[in-house]
Copies of this chain bind each other. A is one copy, B any other.
């Protein structure tokens, strides 16, 4: 997605919840857009030194509520943030148990389709209203091997 378009969508989604798309919030979206995986707050602050910690937490919460960003938590100490899937593409995570890093990967659409069908059956059987699935691969990243 083109960055300008990304900002337009983010702006529109914030407006529908009565929020402004401010400089700081734009900066957060930009940092997340340039990353190739979910980032922790310390990583975000490191990448844009102009951001204050408390504001970063608050603004990421606002952006999450507007469905612009998505918060994920691993066994790592910090939560991680990434752009909402409909702003990027459906993907999964390679989670390193040694250093805690998280990288993205995608599956073949046909595999995703099969998976969705199977999971829909499971959800039906349990009267569970499924919103989305989450598939992670846990192990050791190339750097830590």
Residues of A within 8 A of B (CB): 71-75, 94, 96-97, 103, 105, 107-108, 111, 114-115, 118-119, 122-123, 126-142, 145
- Given A74-B73, A75-B71: A128 and B139 within 8 A (CB)? yes
CA–CA, A108 and B134, complex, Å: 18
In the complex, the answer to whether B139 meets A131 with C-beta atoms within 8 Å is: yes
Cα–Cα distance between A139 and B134 once the two chains are bound (Å): 11
Are the CB atoms of A139 and B123 closer together than 8 Å? yes
| A126 CA to B131 CA, complexed, in Å | 29
Complex CA gap A128/B123 in Å reads 31
Pick from B111, B114, B119: contact of A137, CB below 8 A: B119
Q: Which residues of B contact A133 (CB under 8 A)?
A: 135-138
- Among A134, A136, A142, the most chain B Cβ lie within 10 Å of the Cβ of A134
CB of A128 within 8 A of CB of B140, answer: yes
CB-CB under 8 A for A75 and B75, given A118-B107, A131-B138:
no
